[in-house]
């Protein structure tokens, strides 16, 4: 057998998906397993070993050219090798073939539609929409977004109709995770109302001790009032002699606000518990 000596800074890899980012006029690349990058970005895959073919940063994966340490330090000052890898993986551009790109975008689009459908309802009937109805509505918004973007480019958009003031849906992109895209889609749907739609409410239970060590009665009373103000609808108020309980519905965006409020005012003694992530009724329609 003939041994072929290969330069020490070259590593040959095959059947890879490349993630690329440009810094300081140089490009840096990661060699990843196919179909794993988007899973990692969406949080489905959490093990880097299942994503990276090798924990190495390249100047050119195809040529096997490893990035010199000096180039990395100049392009990513103060960051460790692991931190650089994570930045490239999360922010870099995924290089894939046309068929693979189409398949990935279709999968990502399906994930976004599923998230939106699970978090939104018809505000009148409280029923969820089918995936096909959500997809059709988003298609209308994408066309609207393209027209608005062209108007802004031509300078013909009306006052206040900039992307800074109103949500615009541009469709899915592989550089962003499904959850972030879904939240953007929901904002646009609620704003434009191509179909009657609202975010589903979360059902929350708040428990506050009436006599918590280190928390005076005035603070407890203030916290109770603030909690009830945050509820869109209070379903039940009660509890025991030692503990106050309030159950109700809030918009998902207010859940963290409520948790921070209780944690601060009650000095960590209260509890904010999610009883139901989305107060909805399943649609009887199919599609």
Nearest of 274, 276, 278, 277 to residue 207 by alpha carbon = 274
| Residue pLDDT tens, the chain, 287 long | 434 344 445 555 556 889 999 998 899 999 998 778 878 887 888 899 999 999 999 999 888 899 999 999 999 999 999 999 999 999 998 877 677 778 888 989 999 999 998 888 888 887 888 999 999 999 999 988 787 777 766 765 544 444 456 888 989 987 788 889 999 999 999 999 999 998 888 889 999 988 878 888 888 889 999 999 998 889 999 888 888 999 998 877 788 889 999 988 888 888 999 888 766 555 444 33
Question: pTM value?
Answer: 0.54
Nearest of 38, 151, 43 to residue 168 by alpha carbon = 151
Cβ atoms < 10 Å from Cβ of 279: 16
CA–CA–CA angle 93, 102, 166 (5° rounding)? 65
pLDDT at position 211, please? 82
Q: Per residue in 151-160, is it b (16+ CB within 10 Å) or e — as a string?
A: eeeeeebeee
Rounded to the nearest angstrom, the gap between the alpha carbon of residue 241 and the centroid of all alpha carbons in its chain is 41
């Amino acid at each position: 057998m003939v041994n072929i000596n290969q330069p020490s800074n070259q590593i040959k890899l095959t059947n890879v998906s490349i993630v690329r980012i440009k810094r300081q006029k140089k490009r840096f690349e990661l060699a990843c397993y196919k179909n794993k990058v988007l899973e990692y970005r969406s949080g489905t895959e959490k093990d880097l070993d299942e994503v990276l073919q090798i924990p190495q940063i390249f100047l050119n994966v195809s040529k096997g050219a490893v990035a010199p340490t000096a180039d990395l330090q100049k392009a990513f000052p103060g960051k460790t090798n692991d931190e650089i890898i994570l930045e490239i993986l999360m922010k870099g551009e995924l290089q894939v073939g046309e068929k693979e790109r189409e398949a990935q975008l279709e999968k990502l689009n399906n994930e976004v539609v599923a998230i939106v459908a699970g978090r939104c309802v018809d505000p009148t009937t409280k029923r969820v929409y089918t995936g096909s109805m959500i997809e059709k509505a988003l298609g209308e918004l994408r066309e609207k977004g393209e027209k608005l973007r062209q108007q802004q480019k031509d300078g013909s958009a009306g006052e206040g109709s900039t992307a800074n003031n109103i949500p615009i849906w541009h469709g899915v992109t592989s550089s962003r995770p499904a959850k972030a895209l879904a939240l953007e889609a929901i904002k646009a749907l609620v704003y434009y109302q191509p179909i009657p739609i609202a975010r589903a409410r979360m059902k929350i239970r708040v428990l506050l001790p009436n006599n918590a060590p280190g928390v005076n009665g005035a603070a407890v009373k203030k916290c109770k009032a603030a909690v009830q103000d945050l509820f869109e609808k209070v379903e039940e108020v009660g509890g025991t002699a030692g503990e106050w309980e309030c159950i109700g519905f809030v918009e998902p965006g207010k859940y963290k606000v409520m948790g921070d409020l209780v944690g601060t005012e009650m000095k960590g003694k209260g509890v904010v518990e999610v009883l139901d992530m989305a107060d909805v009724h399943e649609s009887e329609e199919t599609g």
